[in-house]
Amino acid sequence: MEDKILKKLFELETLINNQEVLLKQVLNLNEAAKYLDISKSHLYKLTSRKEIPFYCPQGKRLYFKKDELDQ
């Protein structure tokens, strides 16, 4: 019984996290990878090849505009 409850809680948490990503306009690396359903390492490769638009406002963290990812 406890396993079923934990499984349901995990499913609910996943759904909530996915909803949060869908509502945001600017995504960080983790969120963009989830949104595109690709690994973070693949997303890094795409940015290093400049195959995907990204922003690095403070020189470290990568950000992505969701509408640009949809194109």
**Residue 64 in domain:** yes
Q: Long-range contacts of range 31-37, CB-CB < 8 Å, 24 or more positions apart?
A: 32/62, 32/64, 32/69, 35/66, 35/69, 36/69
**Residue 32 structural domain:** 25-71
Q: What is the CATH number of the domain that holds 29?
A: 3.90.105
What's the pLDDT at 2? 86
**Residue 16 in domain:** no
Cα–Cα dist 71/61, whole Å:
22
What's the pLDDT at 60? 85
The reply to whether the predicted model has a pTM over 0.85 is: no
What's the pLDDT at 71? 83
Residuewise pLDDT in 10s, the chain (71 residues): 888 888 888 888 877 877 777 778 999 999 999 889 899 999 999 999 999 999 999 888 999 999 999 88
Helix-helix angle 40-48:29-36, to 10 degrees = 100
